[in-house]
Amino acid sequence: MSFQTSGGYELRIENDYTLHTPHGSWNFSPEPSNADSQELAALADQRIEHAAVSSDGTLTVTFATGSELHVQASPSYEAWTVAGPRGMKVVCMPGGELATWKATDT
C-alpha cells in the first residue's frame, strides 16, 4: 500500500495499519485487496496536517478531516517508509528503530 503527495513524498506501508475516522475505525493489511476500500479512497483528496513517529516506531499521519492512520513497527521487517524529494528517506526498521537519509542539496 502506498500514498503519494502533491509535494513529492511517498508513504509506503508494509505492515498492518489502522484508520480512525470520525465515522469509525478500520484495520487493514498492506495487501492489494484493500485498494477498493471506500475509507482509504476517501483519503486520496485529503491534506496531511501532521505526521509523527513515537519512540516505538509507530507512525501516525493526521489528515485535515481529523482522520488518523496508524502504522505500528514490526519485529521482523520494515513496517513503513517515507521517501521525499532529493533522496530524503525514513524507514522503520524491524523493532521500530529508524533509518534516515537526508535530502541532498542538489
Residue 50 placed within a domain = yes
Q: Give, as one character, the DSSP assignment of residue 104.
A: P
Residue 8 placed within a domain = yes
Domain coverage including residue 92: 2-101
Residue 37 placed within a domain = yes
Are residues 79 and 57 in contact, defined by beta-carbon separation less than 8 angstroms? Answer: yes
Residue 17 placed within a domain = yes
Q: What pLDDT is attached to residue 38?
A: 87
Q: What mean pLDDT, rounded, does the chain reach?
A: 92
Q: What pLDDT is attached to residue 2?
A: 85
Residue 106 placed within a domain = no
Domain count, the chain: 1
Q: Give, as one character, the DSSP assignment of residue 39.
A: H
C-beta atoms surrounding 82 within 10 Å = 21
Q: What pLDDT is attached to residue 106?
A: 67
Residues 6+ apart with CB under 8 A from 75: 94, 95
